[in-house]
Amino acid sequence: HYLNHNYRRCPAVMLAKRLIDEGKIGRIFHWRGAYLQSWIVDPNFPLTWHLRKEIAGSGPQGSINSHNVDLARFLVGEIKSVNAMTAQFIEERPLPDESVSGTFKGAVKGTQKGKVTVEDAAFMLAEFENGAIGSFDSTVFAPGRKNYNYFELYGSRGSLIFDLERMNELQYFSLDDPDYSQGFRTILATEPVHAYIEHWWPPGHIIGWEHEFVHAAVDLLDAIDKDINIEPNFYDGMKGMQVLDAGLKSAETGERIY
């Protein structure tokens, strides 16, 4: 089974994983993750299916934070407990014209309004099983942020920063560098030594979001051919949903959920 959390197959994210696995970051202390978008800031945006709990299940906590939680599990490890809060900024929206409504667009039909039944934003604090602590910020009310899937990771030997809106780059800081030249360096992950890149363009010729799906398809077919497991899979999906559901429960009860 395969679950397409495609951001794992971004070469810069794979480079982050390599640096962690090689011990370049050391013991991980902090994860700071965010997934920010802005496509429903307008109060006249219609009540599409994303905003109805009976169809979507939840708001950004499930729809986009699921990706950031998966990256955290991939790079840091399993999550032990969470504290969370959610917010709803617009309670009612115009009913949509279903014939033209899409994922990031919508048309209003008439003047009637309906109730928004999912959260507009969620913020979650987490404790990892290895002792690291983390935060996850997800919202669709962040003007200027189009698809800001972001993380900062801090450890005993170094740090990493990734921003999906600059997906070919990884920022890396190393305490092993001489003190007079320490600082974040920006690595352009477009060399043949970086994951998947040897099958694409010459160095410096960047790839895009859609290439992650090609990488995923190739890895899936290879796993089928070799009869081996592939990640992320349904188990990873289950573990991620346990974290997300625990966050929603924490927001509802005000309690820390293990």
Note if the pTM is more than 0.75.
Answer: yes
Quick one: 6-35+60-88+121-251 is in which CATH superfamily? Dihydrodipicolinate Reductase; domain 2 (3.30.360.10)
For the chain, list residues with pLDDT below 50.
Answer: none
* pLDDT attached to residue 5: 96
Tokens, residue 170: 């990884």
What are the DSSP calls for 14-56, one per residue? HHHHHHHHTTSS-SEEEEEEEEE--TT-STTS---GGG-HHHH
Quickly count: other Cβ atoms within 10 Å of residue 251's Cβ: 21
Residue 110: what pLDDT? 73
SS3 126: strand
pLDDT at residue 105, rounded to an integer: 64
Residue 87 · residue 160 · CB < 8 Å: no
For residues 221 and 207, give the distance between their C-alpha atoms in angstroms, rounded to a whole number.
21
- For residue 193, what pLDDT is reported? 97
